[in-house]
Amino acid sequence: MAKNDMKKKYEALVASYNEYNRHYYDLDSPAVDDATYDVLVAKIREFETDHPELVKGGSALSRVGGTVSEKFSSVRHDPPMLSLSNIFDESDLDDFHQRSMKNTGTDNPQNLSYSAELKYDGLAVEAVYERGKLVLGSTRGDGESGEDITENIKMINQLPHKLSGSDIPDYISVRGEVYLTHLEFERINNEREKNEEALFANPRNAAAGSLRQLDPEIVRKRNLSIVLYGIGKIEGSAVSSQQDMMIRFAEWGLPNPPHIVFGNKDTVADFFRYWSENRYTLGFDIDGVVVKINDLAIREKAGFTSKAPKGAVAWKFPASEAITELKSVEASLGRTGVITPVANLSPINIGGVLVKRATLHNYKEIERLDVMIGDHVKVIRAGDVIPKIIESMKEKRSGTEMRIDIPDRCPSCGSVLVQEDIFLRCGNNTCEGKQYEQLLYFVSKDGMDIEYFGPELIRRLYDAKKISSPSDIFAIRKTDLLELDRMGDILADKIIASIDARRKIELFRLIRSLGIRNVGDHVAKILSRNLMSYDKICMASVDEMKSIHEIGPGVADSVRKYFDDQVNTVMIDQMVRNGVEILPDESGKDTAGKFSGMTFVFTGSLSRFTREEGESIVEDLGGRASSSVSKKTSYVVAGENAGSKLDKAQSLGITVLSEDEFADMVEM
C-alpha cells in the first residue's frame, strides 16, 4: 500500500474512533457495540505499531473519554482518571500476568496476588471528600478534566454526604461507576413512552443522561446506583492494597463492590468464568471483570501508559452470547404468514445492547432444544442479527419449568394454521397481521429503504386506513399525513420527499422488497443481473430460473408462485400507476472479462470496500460472486475476523486473497 494510502486509511480509522467516542461519552448514545469498538482499537494499535512514522504527537488511543459539556463547570482530576486496557481470554490473562511479573520485578508467580471485581457498565465518576464531607462530584470526561455534577451525585442514595467510622482521611477522591438497574431502566423508559419522549437505548445511556440533567430533582427520581472501587488521591490516612481499600470503604460507609475476590491468576479465571455464566442474576449490566494487582505499591511500580495503568486490565466478556432466563414464549406472525415462536427473556446485556427477546425459529426447534418456560438459556447475538436461543441449560432446572404450547390458530386473524415442512403458516391472504408485516418489510432497510418510515408511522397510516399494501405508499399525499396526530408541516414534507426519492427504483431493490419467500438481497441481485427487467422476471419459468447459477428449485418455485398470484402483480401494476419507475438492470455480464469463469467468495470485515462493492466488481469483470464456499470456488477474499468460510476454503485448498491482493488482481 502506498504511503499516502496508508495515511488516509489510518486517518479514517482514527476519525471513526473519535466519532464513536463522541457518541459514547458526549452524547450518551453508543453508535456501535463494544465488540465493534474493540476491533477498531485493535486495528489502530496494530497500524501505529507497523507505521510509527504516521503517529504524530502521540497515539490516537491516548484519549481516555469524552469532552466536557459547556452545561457544566470543568473539574481537573488529580491524578488523571485513566482507562483500562482490555483482555479477552485466558491466554491474554497469562500475558498480563507475565508482563506484571516483569514490570514489578517479581520472580515467583505465587508472590503476585490480584483482585477481581465486576466491570460495571455505567458512567465513570469521582467523588471528593474533605474532612469526611462530600464536597465535589465529577464525570471522568476526557480523563484530565470532567464535568462538575456535585448536586446531581448528591442525589444518589447510596453515596453518603458524610463519611462514618474512624481514621477518616483529611482528603480523599474516590472513583467508581454510576449505573442503573434493569428494573429502574424499564420504569424510566415506560414513563418516557407515556410522555412521548425518546427512549433510552440501554441502562448505561440512561444513567449517563440522568447525571447530566441540570435539575437534580430529576436525578433523585431516577434512583441511580453507584459502586466505588478506587482512590485517586488520599491524605491523612493510608491504604495498602485493594483488599484493604474495600475494608476501609465499608467502614467509612462508601458503597464498594459486593462481588470481589483476591488471589492468584487461577482464582481470577474462576471468578471470570462464574460471572460470565451468571451475570443475568445480577439485575444490572456488567461487561466483564476488572483484574488488578492487589498490592497498591506493587501496582504503582508496574507503571502506566499514556492511557492506562499497566497493573490493571479489563477482561471483557464475549460480546456474542450470554445466559439468562426464559420467561415466556409468544407466537409472532411474519410477512409470509410463518408463525415464529419468540422468547421473552430476563433482560441481559449482549454486546452493548439490552436483549429482552430472542427467536426460537420454529416449534420443531423448541422440540430439538428441549427448551421450557423457566429454563436458563444461552442466547447469542452477532452484529445486527436478531438474538436467538441456542441451548437450554437443563442442569439448572428446578422442576417448576413449563412446556411451551404450540398454537393452532393465527394470532392475528384466527385462521387455522397449516403445517408446511417445519413451519406453521397462516394461509389467509387477507390477514391484516400479514399485511402490516409486509408493509414494514417493504419500507425497511432490507426492502425499499424509505427514510422516516418505521413501525410507528406504518401503524398510524395502516390504522387510519391510508395504506393497506405497498403500492398505497406511493399514493400518499401531504394532506393524508397532516390528518395524523402529532404530524407537522416539516416532518410531512420530509416523508413525502423520502417517498419521491424511491419513485425511480433499481430492479433488484424492488424484487428484494416484495417479501418473496427465499428471496433476499443476494438472490434479488442475481435475478436482476441475469434477467435484467421486471417483465422478464415476472414471466420467467421455473426451469429458466433454475438454469441461473445459485438459483435453486426452492427459490425458483417461490418466485414463480409469487408472480402467479394476481393480487401481487396487480399491486405492482398499481405501484407503477402511482408513479414508480422500475429501472432495468443494464449491467449485464462481461463474459469476456478477466474474471470470466471464476467464482469469488467474500468473507470477514472488509475495510477497502464493502462486500457488495466487491461482488459488483467481480460481476462487472465477468465473474461470479457466491455466498458459499465449494470446490467450484476460485478465490476467497478474506477480511478481518473471517470465520467458517475461511476455514472451509483452507480445508479445500482454495486460494485465499487479502483485500490488497484482490485489488491488485482488479488493476492488473
Identify the CA nearest to 460 among candidates 429, 491, 490.
491
Q: Identify whether the C-beta of residue 656 lies closer than 8 Å to the C-beta of residue 650.
A: yes
Look at the block and give the residue holding cell 420467467: 540
Rounded CA separation 367/408 (Å): 16
Catalytic residue selected from 43, 119, 316, 645: 119
Helix axes 182-194, 203-211, angle to 10 degrees: 70
Containing 86, the helix (H) or strand (E) segment is: strand 85-87
Cell numbers representing residue 158 in the block? 447510596
Q: For residues 610 and 616, what is the distance between their CA atoms, to the nearest angstrom? A: 10
Coil, strand or helix at 198: coil
Whether residue 251 contacts residue 165, with contact meaning beta carbons closer than 8 Å, is answered with yes
Q: Which residues contact 229 (CB under 8 A, 6 or more apart)?
A: 117, 175, 176, 177, 256, 257, 290
Residue 591 CA, distance from chain mean position: 41
- What end-to-end distance do the CA atoms of the chain give, in Å? 15
Q: What's the half-sphere exposure (Cβ side, CA atoms, 13 Å) at 488?
A: 2
User: Helix (H, G, I), strand (E, B), or coil: what is residue 176?
Assistant: strand
* Interatomic CA distance for residues 261 and 645, integer angstroms: 41
For residue 277, the SS3 value is helix
Integer CA distances (angstroms), 446 to 434, 456, 485, 509, 569, in order: 17, 18, 28, 9, 21
Contact 529, 584 (CB under 8 A): no
SS3 of 135, please? strand
CA distance 134 to 162: 6
C-alpha cell, 338:
410463518
What is the separation of C-alpha 11 from the centre of its chain, rounded to a whole number of angstroms?
24
Closest of 152, 122, 125, 150 to residue 136, by C-alpha:
150
Give CA separation, 333 vs 411, 428, 432, in Å. 7, 12, 10
What pairs with residue 571 in β-bridges?
A: none
Contact status, residue 43 vs residue 35, Cβ threshold 8 Å: no
- What residue type is assigned to position 84 of the chain? L
In three-state secondary structure terms, 297 is: helix
- 71 classed as catalytic: no
What region, left, alpha or beta, does residue 131 occupy, with left being phi > 0 and alpha being psi -120 to 50 degrees? left
The set of cell numbers assigned to 184 is 429502574
Q: Indicate the residue type of 247.
A: I
Catalytic residues: 119
